[in-house]
Amino acid sequence: MPEEIIDRIYRIPVPLPGNPLKELNAYLIKGTDRAVLIDTGFRQPACREALFAGLRELGLRRGEVDVLLTHLHSDHSGLAPEAAQDRTIYVSEADRPTLDDLHARQVHWDKLEERFQEEGFPRHLLARMQETNPARSMAPPSGGHYQSLRDGEVLEVGGYRLQCLLMPGHTPGQMCFWMEEQGIMFTGDHVLFDITPNITAWIQMKDALGTYLDSLRKIDAYDVRLALPGHRKTGDFHQRIAQLLEHHHRRLDEALSVVKAHPGRPAYDIAGHMTWKIRANSWQDFPVAQKWFAVGECMSHLDYLTVRGKVQKTVADGKAAYYAV
């Protein structure tokens, strides 16, 4: 059931069955001239039913909204073409190619899987991920009228002004949307409160974690009175940023300690020696999807340490190895 946050701005909860994120917060800004839907959910029946039921309750149907995406991940973008139909789908210039260019999407996945293989991720598990990873299977299909957004661009809808803020890190083109007069920030997955955003390695970013931490410090300068995140509940915006910065510095210390204790190992093995908040008896018992996220996050921390000269990476016979400097 939609929840009105302020006049003509609504939250539509979209369940994510079987996913640790639990649900997506889609937001609708309903103006007299047009309506804009911020994020959509996976391309799957439960998300589709909840999203379009919420729109109907607010007097709208698919094809009667423009869609504004915070970033490319399929739990945010999966239903964008269905929701917009012949209307516009707005997304950052950096994230757009992976959505509306199927060749670019395939190249992205091929290069990413090459990196995971280099980092020791078992081939048979990668094959399973190709079939089960919702980032691939529930992503939007081809088609859709996409329009690129640039940092600082302003959209007007329903009497509100939304400034597009490029905050890369979670994805290369993660955007937040700032309503200065109201002190409201739509944060996407850049700042989450109940959970920590997954910061993985990206082919397009040499240092995704360093980029993310810089973006956190950048957005901390805004006088945010209400943060509207992509998942779960909100909270104290500036306090949460401080917590996220501290969290990643602790994880960097842990990653470096593991490299020192286990030199010459790839990211897959290093991740297996790090601590994770998941119900599993051992690294071997991790569900394959959670291993994928854990190794990706470990890679981003190792990239950060490598760029800053604290760790050295070597690659021999297609296999990575890390050593403390």
Whole-number pLDDT of residue 38 = 98
CATH of the domain at 294: 1.10.10
Whole-number pLDDT of residue 169 = 98
Q: Do 184 and 250 belong together in one domain?
A: no
Q: Do 102 and 217 belong together in one domain?
A: yes
pLDDT per residue as tens, the chain (325 positions): 899 999 999 999 999 998 889 999 999 999 988 999 999 999 999 999 999 999 999 999 999 999 999 999 999 999 999 999 999 999 999 999 999 999 999 999 999 999 999 999 999 999 998 888 888 889 999 889 999 999 999 999 999 999 999 999 999 999 999 999 999 999 999 999 999 999 999 999 999 999 999 999 999 999 999 999 999 999 999 999 999 999 999 999 999 999 999 999 999 999 999 999 887 888 999 999 999 999 999 999 999 999 999 999 999 999 999 999 9
Q: What range defines the domain where residue 291 resides? A: 244-324
3-state secondary structure the chain: CCEEEECCEEEEEEECCCCCCCEEEEEEEECCCCEEEECCCCCCHHHHHHHHHHHHHCCCCCCCCEEECCCCCHHHHCCHHHHHCCCEEEEECCCHHHHHCHHHHHHHHHHHHHHHHHCCCCHHHHHHHHHHCHHHHCCCCCCCEEEEECCCCEEEECCEEEEEEECCCCCCCCEEEEECCCCEEEEECCCCCCCCCCCCCECCECCHHHHHHHHHHHHCCCCCCEEEECCCCCCCHHHHHHHHHHHHHHHHHHHHHHHHHCCCECHHHHHHCCCCCCCCCCHHHCCHHHHHHHHHHHHHHHHHHHHCCCEEEEEECCEEEEEEC
Q: Do 148 and 260 belong together in one domain?
A: no
Whole-number pLDDT of residue 20 = 87
Whole-number pLDDT of residue 1 = 86
Q: How many domains does the chain have?
A: 2
Structure confidence by residue, pLDDT tens digits, 25-34? 999 999 988 9
End position of a domain, from candidates 210, 243, 276: 243
End position of a domain, from candidates 243, 265, 295: 243
Q: Do 92 and 184 belong together in one domain?
A: yes
Whole-number pLDDT of residue 280 = 82
Q: Do 87 and 207 belong together in one domain?
A: yes
